[in-house]
């Protein structure tokens, strides 16, 4: 297991390094840079552009800019944002925490809706609940996140007026924590929507397949009670699959949250990266992508470890 | 005709304004509360000497860092807003127009409690002005980034040096007369000319100003969370009673999605929405919100690529001018949130004349000109961005122009690019494929003409129509009336050349909650000044 973890960690570090090289090359290929973006109407003034490029260090060869950034990174410094004159690490930390709040909220919604829905649908296969539940899931899976979010805002914030329409908290609320929780509801549901559909369908299909497996027939023949058959044997068998899918979905939630962040003006890392790319704020974009990539790798690594601990065959394979 | 035009947005706005005025008349302006504005973009750099972001200038700089000369940012009626004393209570100009003497306000304090004096003016100027360009050494606090963003102002004005005559008198010495000099102090483009506390620069360093901006304005900076919000708070020791802030706090939210901004307004989470969706304005009016709009310096322009072979024939250029329905775009496509472009001068410029008219929309004439030139079916590529600062709704507007051009007998295509890539390609030289190249800008000060018409500022592909020297000569006239006539003549020359075209002028609509009172939509970019705005019952 230790060897497996070490191997995966080294591989992840190489992957992340490769991503930074790729992103840096892509930035060089894009027209425009931070100097042009900062200067606006003066972007046509060659003297102003040269001054700003020199100030930002953009007049150095691209490979030197990259290695300076990499050297700083190895010393724990992600650089400085050209737009905000703030350390990139501070910008990213603040936004990553906001994204993690959204991610945790979405994961709670995903697990608490997706798994029970899949289990009940499998146990009552072809019932009215199964048909309606799976029908809703299929429709939900096809709805664009953008539209779904706007629909929720219209319904719950504007028509029913029971939940806030946007942002992470309100300047009118005195209790910040409670305000965040209330503001989290709609964005969390929006972000989790597609993952719920996947998790529910995988849970249902896996459970159905397991329920029909020969060992389940053997359990019936041995007179094991139904509750025990399902919860102790069938569910235990589908757990590794669900953990794997959940790991992937958590990664998806992180990247998919950018739509939610835009619709609900949630100040997360997705919007930070998007804005940084638009403004050619390379250190912020690189730092943000690195952090998201690292979290994605960690989520998948955690899923692999959890699967291994649940499935002895997988453990041996490692 | 859109619903909005059928109903008449101005009429609705006027009725709503009258109704609100009635309420307001019964109410005394009241202090307190938090005014929340939802802005469409990040607020830019929080240093008046390095920011080029209009949002920053409108919503932040105006409230925190004041210039020597102001426009009356509460005067909605005048176009442009009149010049009034700012941190200078009065000024004199030498007969040769080369020395401006400013007599400063006394008893003014920065937000950090320090006194404002003439030395502070000198300090601020030498932070931005590269003195090596006039053969002297730079000041120790000279800031390269500030020179990049704001240096152009001192270059164009021909600044030689600035001196503190005594604690409350400053002289600016120019190498030549520059008649837009006073108006320049009020213009919000790159490097707005607000004064910040030298002590704060010394304490936090040039790089630290953004997190610690200290000026003399009616609001002081409290907090900024990039990509999220900014909080300003009333400055109780503000020197100018007439502009003392009424609300306790001003919060500016960064909300790039227009649907989210409008949802926040409807849900009572914001009082002001900047850059609303024009299509939703009739509905918002029906719901009781108030639309505020005004005359702006903004011009949504088109430049003709000089390398486009077909444009060598003047008749083809003229055909484009007659083919594009500017009025239809302003009133129908943009629901009355724009005015048709009638001059290369900004509508807020003192040189602009109400009777100015561009080439009339006449598709039959356009087709006839094309036939005469044997150019029917000429391929035109219209280039613009997908979005961007001041770009309004570029994709929709490009499609409108494409349809107009096809109707007149051109073969028209559109090329859309992401904003930063587009602006880079625009200024680095037009793509050879582009025929008509769009960009939006405009200032009240007549040096707007320099931006695209002065050969020194033109990217490759933009035609030099031979007015560079005339612009410089007009800048250096000491008689403002004569200068305005000269600027107007230049704009007429631009029209006659056929190489440039103003399409529409944005009216910068803003949606207000019915609680908002006394929001002044002045006729310049300073339309976000809300020191005298207050929150009433709603």
Closest residue of chain B to A154, computed from CA coordinates: B263
How far away is chain A from the Cα of B530, in angstroms, using its nearest Cα? 19
- Touching check for B515 and chain A: CB below 8 Å? no
Q: What does the DSSP 8-state code read for residue B401? A: H
C-beta separation of B520 from B532 below 8 A: yes
Neighbouring residues of A118: CB distance < 8 A, sequence distance ≥ 6: A199, A200, A201, A202, A203, A204, A207
Task: For residue A156, give the H/E element and its range.
Answer: none
Alpha carbons A121 and B402: distance in angstroms, whole number: 54
> pLDDT value at position A317?
62
Closest residue of chain A to B42, computed from CA coordinates: A275
Chain B residues with CB under 8 Å of A267 CB are 225, 227-228
Q: Give residue A315's pLDDT band: very low, low, confident or very high (50, 70, 90).
A: low
How far away is chain B from the Cα of A23, in angstroms, using its nearest Cα? 16
Neighbouring residues of B242: CB distance < 8 A, sequence distance ≥ 6: B532
How far away is chain B from the Cα of A203, in angstroms, using its nearest Cα? 35
C-beta separation of B413 from B381 below 8 A: yes
Interface test with B, best of A27, A31, A151, A185 (most B CBs within 10 A): A31
C-beta separation of A179 from A96 below 8 A: no
Residue B411 φ/ψ, nearest 5 degrees: -105, 105
Is A262 within 8 Å of B254 when comparing Cβ atoms? no
Interface test with A, best of B42, B415, B427, B430 (most A CBs within 10 A): B427
> pLDDT value at position B26?
65
Q: CA A100 from chain center: how many Å?
A: 9
C-beta separation of A62 from A28 below 8 A: yes
Q: What is the pTM assigned to this prediction?
A: 0.87
- Touching check for B32 and chain A: CB below 8 Å? no
- Touching check for B41 and chain A: CB below 8 Å? no
Closest residue of chain B to A50, computed from CA coordinates: B148
- Touching check for B226 and chain A: CB below 8 Å? yes
Query: In this complex, which of B47, B152, B428 lies closest to A45 when CB atoms are compared?
Result: B152
> pLDDT value at position B4?
41
Neighbouring residues of B288: CB distance < 8 A, sequence distance ≥ 6: B16, B514
> pLDDT value at position A314?
67
Of all residues in chain B, the percent with pLDDT exceeding 70 is: 95
Lowest-pLDDT range of A237-251, B144-158, B518-532: A237-251
- Touching check for B370 and chain A: CB below 8 Å? no
- Touching check for B256 and chain A: CB below 8 Å? yes
C-beta separation of B129 from B173 below 8 A: no
Residue B497: C-alpha distances to residues B198, B241, B321, B446, B463 (Å): 48, 50, 11, 19, 10
Which residue, chain included where needed, has tokens 């900076």? B221
Alpha carbons B265 and A274: distance in angstroms, whole number: 25
Q: CA A186 from chain center: how many Å?
A: 16
Question: Which carries the bigger pLDDT value, residue B420 or residue A116?
Answer: A116
10 Å Cβ neighbour count for B1?
Answer: 8
> pLDDT value at position B10?
41
C-beta separation of A48 from B50 below 8 A: no
Tokens of residue A22, six digits: 């790729």
pLDDT reading at B89 higher than 50: yes
pLDDT reading at A132 higher than 90: yes
Alpha carbons B82 and B102: distance in angstroms, whole number: 18
Interface test with B, best of A30, A33, A45, A258 (most B CBs within 10 A): A45
Is A165 within 8 Å of B266 when comparing Cβ atoms? yes
Is B34 within 8 Å of A267 when comparing Cβ atoms? no
Q: CA B290 from chain center: how many Å?
A: 23
Give the pLDDT confidence of A135-149 residue by residue, as tens digits: 999 898 888 888 999
C-beta separation of A118 from A204 below 8 A: yes
Lowest-pLDDT range of A222-231, A247-256, B63-72, B194-203: A247-256
> pLDDT value at position B90?
98
Give the pLDDT confidence of B304-345 residue by residue, as tens digits: 999 999 999 999 999 999 999 999 999 999 999 999 999 999
Burial letters for A102-123: b for 16+ Cβ neighbours within 10 Å, e otherwise?
bbebbbebbbebbbebbbbbbb
pLDDT reading at B121 higher than 80: yes
Among candidate residues A71, A228, A197, A60, the one with its CA nearest the CA of residue A134 = A197
pLDDT reading at B21 higher than 70: no
Neighbouring residues of A178: CB distance < 8 A, sequence distance ≥ 6: none
Is A275 within 8 Å of B269 when comparing Cβ atoms? no
- Touching check for B272 and chain A: CB below 8 Å? no
Is A150 within 8 Å of B149 when comparing Cβ atoms? no
Among candidate residues A195, A187, A204, A205, the one with its CA nearest the CA of residue A141 = A195
Across B410-421, average pLDDT: 93
Chain B residues with CB under 8 Å of A165 CB are 260, 263-264, 266-267, 269
Neighbouring residues of A182: CB distance < 8 A, sequence distance ≥ 6: A163, A164
Give the pLDDT confidence of A45-94 residue by residue, as tens digits: 889 999 999 999 999 999 999 999 999 999 989 998 988 888 999 999 99
Q: Give residue B17's pLDDT band: very low, low, confident or very high (50, 70, 90).
A: very low
Query: In this complex, which of A43, A85, A165 lies closest to B269 when CB atoms are compared?
Result: A165
Is B52 within 8 Å of A38 when comparing Cβ atoms? yes
Closest residue of chain B to A162, computed from CA coordinates: B267
Q: Given its phi and psi angles, is residue B388 left (phi above 0), alpha (psi -120 to 50 degrees) or beta?
A: left
pLDDT reading at B98 higher than 50: yes
Is B227 within 8 Å of A153 when comparing Cβ atoms? no
> pLDDT value at position A16?
87
Which residue, chain included where needed, has tokens 């949002």? B55
Alpha carbons B194 and B56: distance in angstroms, whole number: 12
Q: Give residue A19's pLDDT band: very low, low, confident or very high (50, 70, 90).
A: confident
Instruction: Let me know the angle formed at the C-alpha of A57 by B132 and B128, rounded to the nearest 5 degrees.
Output: 35
Give the pLDDT confidence of B233-291 residue by residue, as tens digits: 999 999 999 999 999 999 999 998 898 899 999 989 999 999 999 889 999 999 999 99
> pLDDT value at position A12?
84
> pLDDT value at position A292?
87
- Bridge partners (DSSP) listed for residue B338: B506
Highest mean predicted confidence (pLDDT) among A151-160, B42-51, B349-358 = B349-358
Give the pLDDT confidence of B358-415 residue by residue, as tens digits: 999 999 999 999 999 999 999 999 999 998 878 999 999 999 999 999 999 999 999 9
Is B45 within 8 Å of A38 when comparing Cβ atoms? yes
> pLDDT value at position B156?
94
- Touching check for B247 and chain A: CB below 8 Å? no
> pLDDT value at position B419?
86
Across B42-55, average pLDDT: 89
Residue B123: C-alpha distances to residues B118, B197, B532 (Å): 9, 9, 30
Give the pLDDT confidence of A245-304 residue by residue, as tens digits: 888 777 777 767 888 898 899 999 988 998 898 888 999 999 998 988 888 888 878 878
Tokens of residue A187, six digits: 């964005």
Task: For residue B51, give the H/E element and its range.
Answer: none
C-beta separation of B390 from B441 below 8 A: yes
10 Å Cβ neighbour count for A13?
Answer: 12
- The three-state secondary structure class of B177 is coil
Closest residue of chain A to B46, computed from CA coordinates: A84
- The three-state secondary structure class of B33 is coil
Question: How confident is the prediction for chain A on average, in pLDDT?
Answer: 89
- Bridge partners (DSSP) listed for residue B512: B272, B290
pLDDT reading at B67 higher than 90: yes
Query: In this complex, which of A36, A157, A275 lies closest to B267 when CB atoms are compared?
Result: A157
- Touching check for B416 and chain A: CB below 8 Å? no
Alpha carbons A68 and A76: distance in angstroms, whole number: 12
How far away is chain B from the Cα of A1, in angstroms, using its nearest Cα? 42
Burial letters for A271-286: b for 16+ Cβ neighbours within 10 Å, e otherwise?
bbbbbbbbbbbbbbbb
Burial letters for B165-184: b for 16+ Cβ neighbours within 10 Å, e otherwise?
eeebbbbbebeebbbbbbbb
> pLDDT value at position B357?
98
Residues 445-484 of B with CB under 8 A from A: 451, 457-459
Q: Give residue A8's pLDDT band: very low, low, confident or very high (50, 70, 90).
A: confident
Question: How confident is the prediction for chain B on average, in pLDDT?
Answer: 93
Interface test with A, best of B188, B257, B430, B437 (most A CBs within 10 A): B257
What sign does the dihedral A110-A112-A113-A118 (CA atoms) show?
positive
Is B211 within 8 Å of A86 when comparing Cβ atoms? yes
Strands B99-104 and B169-174: antiparallel
Tokens of residue A3, six digits: 């060897």
């Amino acid at each position: 297991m230790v060897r497996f973890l070490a191997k995966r960690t080294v591989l992840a570090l190489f992957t992340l390094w490769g991503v930074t090289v790729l992103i840096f090359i892509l930035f060089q290929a894009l027209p425009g840079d931070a100097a042009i973006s900062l200067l606006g109407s003066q972007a046509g003034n060659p003297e102003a552009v040269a001054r700003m490029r020199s100030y930002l260090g953009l007049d150095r060869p691209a490979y030197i800019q990259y290695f300076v950034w990499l050297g700083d990174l190895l010393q724990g410094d992600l650089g400085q944002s050209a737009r905000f004159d703030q350390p990139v690490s501070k910008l990213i930390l603040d936004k990553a925490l906001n994204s993690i709040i959204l991610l945790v909220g979405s994961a709670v919604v995903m697990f608490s809706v997706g798994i029970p829905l899949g289990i009940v649908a499998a146990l009552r296969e072809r019932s009215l609940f199964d048909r309606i539940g799976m029908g809703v899931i299929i429709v939900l899976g096809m709805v664009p996140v953008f539209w779904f979010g706007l629909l929720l805002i219209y319904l719950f914030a504007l028509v029913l007026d029971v939940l806030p329409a946007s942002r992470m908290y309100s300047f009118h609320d005195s209790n910040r924590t409670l305000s965040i929780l209330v503001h989290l509801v709609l964005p969390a549901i929006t972000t989790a929507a597609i993952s719920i559909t996947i998790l529910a369908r995988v849970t249902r299909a896996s459970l159905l397949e397991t329920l029909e497996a020969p060992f389940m027939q053997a359990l019936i023949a041995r007179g094991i009670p139904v509750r025990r058959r399902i919860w102790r044997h069938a569910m235990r068998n589908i757990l590794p699959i669900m953990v794997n899918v959940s790991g992937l979905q958590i990664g998806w939630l992180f990247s998919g949250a950018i739509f939610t962040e835009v619709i609900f003006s949630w100040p997360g890392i997705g919007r930070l990266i998007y804005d940084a790319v638009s403004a050619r704020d390379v250190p912020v974009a690189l730092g943000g992508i690195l952090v998201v990539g690292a979290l994605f790798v960690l989520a998948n690594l955690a899923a692999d470890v959890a699967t291994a601990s649940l499935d002895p065959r997988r453990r041996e394979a490692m | 005709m859109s619903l909005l035009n059928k109903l008449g947005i101005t009429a609705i706005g006027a009725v709503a304004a009258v109704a609100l005025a009635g309420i307001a008349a019964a109410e005394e302006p009241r202090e307190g509360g938090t005014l929340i504005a939802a802005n469409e973009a990040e607020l830019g750099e929080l240093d008046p000497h390095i920011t080029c972001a209009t949002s920053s200038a409108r919503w932040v700089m105006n409230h925190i860092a004041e210039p020597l000369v102001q426009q009356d940012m509460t005067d909605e009626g005048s176009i442009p807003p009149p010049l009034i004393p700012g941190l200078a209570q009065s000024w004199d100009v030498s007969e040769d127009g080369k020395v401006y003497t400013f007599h400063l306000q006394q008893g003014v304090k920065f937000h950090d409690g320090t006194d404002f004096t003439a030395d502070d003016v000198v300090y601020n100027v030498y932070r931005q002005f590269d003195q090596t360009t006039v053969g002297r050494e730079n000041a120790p606090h000279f800031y390269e980034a500030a020179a990049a963003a704001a240096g152009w102002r001192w270059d164009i004005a021909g600044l030689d040096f600035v001196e503190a005559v005594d604690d409350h008198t400053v002289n600016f010495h120019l190498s030549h007369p520059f008649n837009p000099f006073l108006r320049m102090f009020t213009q919000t483009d790159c490097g707005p000319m607000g004064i910040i506390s030298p002590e704060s620069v010394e304490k936090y360093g040039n790089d630290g100003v953004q997190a610690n901006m200290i000026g003399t304005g009616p609001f002081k900076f409290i907090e900024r969370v990039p990509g999220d919000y900014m909080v300003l708070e009333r400055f109780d020791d503000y020197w100018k009673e007439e502009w003392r802030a009424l609300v306790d706090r001003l919060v500016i939210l960064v909300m790039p999605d227009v649907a989210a901004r409008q949802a926040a307004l409807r849900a009572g989470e914001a009082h002001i929405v900047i850059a609303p969706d024009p299509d939703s304005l009739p509905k918002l009016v029906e719901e009781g919100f108030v639309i505020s709009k005004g005359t702006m310096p903004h011009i949504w322009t088109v430049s003709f690529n000089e390398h486009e072979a077909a444009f060598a024939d003047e008749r083809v250029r003229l055909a484009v001018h007659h083919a594009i329905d500017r009025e239809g775009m302003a009133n129908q496509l943009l629901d009355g949130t724009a005015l048709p472009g009638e001059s290369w001068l900004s509508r807020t410029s003192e040189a602009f004349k109400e009777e100015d008219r561009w080439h009339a929309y006449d598709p039959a004439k356009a087709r006839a000109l094309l036939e005469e030139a044997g150019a029917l079916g000429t391929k035109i590529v219209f280039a613009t961005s997908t979005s961007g600062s001041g770009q309004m709704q570029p994709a929709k507007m490009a499609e409108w122009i494409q349809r107009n051009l096809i109707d007149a007998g051109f073969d028209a295509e559109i090329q859309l690019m992401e904003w930063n890539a587009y602006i880079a390609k625009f200024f680095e030289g037009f793509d050879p494929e582009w025929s008509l190249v769009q960009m939006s800008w405009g200032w009240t000060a007549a040096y707007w003409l320099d931006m695209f018409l002065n050969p020194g500022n033109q990217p490759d592909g933009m035609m030099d129509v031979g007015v560079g020297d005339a612009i410089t000569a007009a800048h250096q006239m000491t008689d403002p009336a004569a200068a305005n006539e000269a600027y107007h003549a230049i704009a007429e020359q631009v029209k006659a050349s056929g190489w440039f075209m103003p399409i529409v002028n944005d009216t910068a609509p803003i949606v207000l909650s019915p609680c908002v009172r006394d929001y002044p939509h002045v006729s310049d970019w300073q339309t976000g000044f809300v020191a005298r705005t207050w929150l009433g019952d709603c």
